[in-house]
Copies of this chain bind each other. A is one copy, B any other.
Amino acid sequence: MLLNGSTFTSVHDVANLSALIEEGLRVKAAPLAWSNIGRHKTLGLIFFNPSLRTRLSSQRAAWNLGMNTLVVNVGTESWKIEMRDGVVMDGETVEHIKEGAAVIGAYTDILGVRAFATLTDKHADIGENVLSKVQQYACKPLVSLESALRHPLQSFADILTIEEVRREQRMKHRPKVVLTWAPHPKALPQAVANSFAEWMLRADVDLVITHPEGYALDEAFTQGAYITQCQDEALECADFVYAKNWSAFQGNDYGKVLLYDTSWTITAEKMRRTRNGKFMHCLPTRRNVEVADDVLDSSASLVIRQAENRVVAMQTVLKCILENL
């Protein structure tokens, strides 16, 4: 059993992380070796927010296992969903999540759900309001496609990427992995950063997090990491540099952009501080804002490989769930 149950919403659902990574590498080596395991099964993909990589990689992963995929873009294709309990629905919402989730659950065998943080209602975000309601009412195995707090498929793809590079480079030492805040013109969720920290802290690496003042992440995700506000210090001798923007988490600044400081942009110049370090980003990325062209276009960049490994991550998770259906 690689997962604790038939849910994949955080690293806490993983029973054995190193075994899951090995399974991922096996899946990557032979993506069509289990092409009948999902035959006549349907993966539902519910997007409360837009997606590119996630939808495409999930569909490809499902097809590699013989599954069909049902895509629902809530709000654009469908109608507005009511999330509150006990409300008199005489306004704009047309269907309650209780029925919506139950019905989609009835038509599918496994559900994937994307529901970003609102960045305005911290209480709802911390409670994973949408994800937990879908899970409660759909009554089907659930895979998070990024929730308010986490993006576990991305983190799984990231750890697979790090593991691949480590083996290819025959890296003998415990890798130094740096998660660095990067500037961005818009307010973004903390999910990718939270999740990356949470996974790295369970992996065989040293995690350093660096961000400007005011950008501390929730300690629930970062406890155990070395945290510094000096990016240069963090980058020193790094093997992997993971750049990501997030908006403020702490206190009343929740969801706000406190700073737009391009001295935090990752450049080739900065990468020279690392130990021939590799650059990582979950994509999409703002070129020359989060990271300079000269990094993304160099051989140090792992971003496309990370994206490729999204198929592997999803396929491995689906395979685990299908084997226990």
Contact = CB atoms under 8 A, between A and B. Distances in A.
A196 interface: no
A285 B97 CA distance: 11
Contact of A100 (B35, B52, B57, B98): B52
Interface stretch (A64-72, A204-212, A267-275): A64-72
Interface residues of A, number: 59
A95 B288 contact: no
Please tell me how many copies of the chain the complex holds: 3
Contacts of A108: 60
A87 interface: yes
Contact of A52 (B86, B95, B304): B95
B285 A95 contact: yes
Given A40-B63, A98-B296, A185 B91 contact: yes
Interface string A267-298: 00000000000000001111111000100110
Contact of A288 (B40, B89, B102): B89
Contact of A287 (B60, B63, B96): B96
A53 interface: yes
A164 interface: no
Interface of A: 32, 35, 40, 42, 44, 50-53, 56-57, 59-60, 63-64, 68, 70, 72-73, 76-79, 82, 85-91, 94-96, 98-100, 102-104, 106-108, 185, 283-289, 293, 296-297, 303-304, 307-308, 311
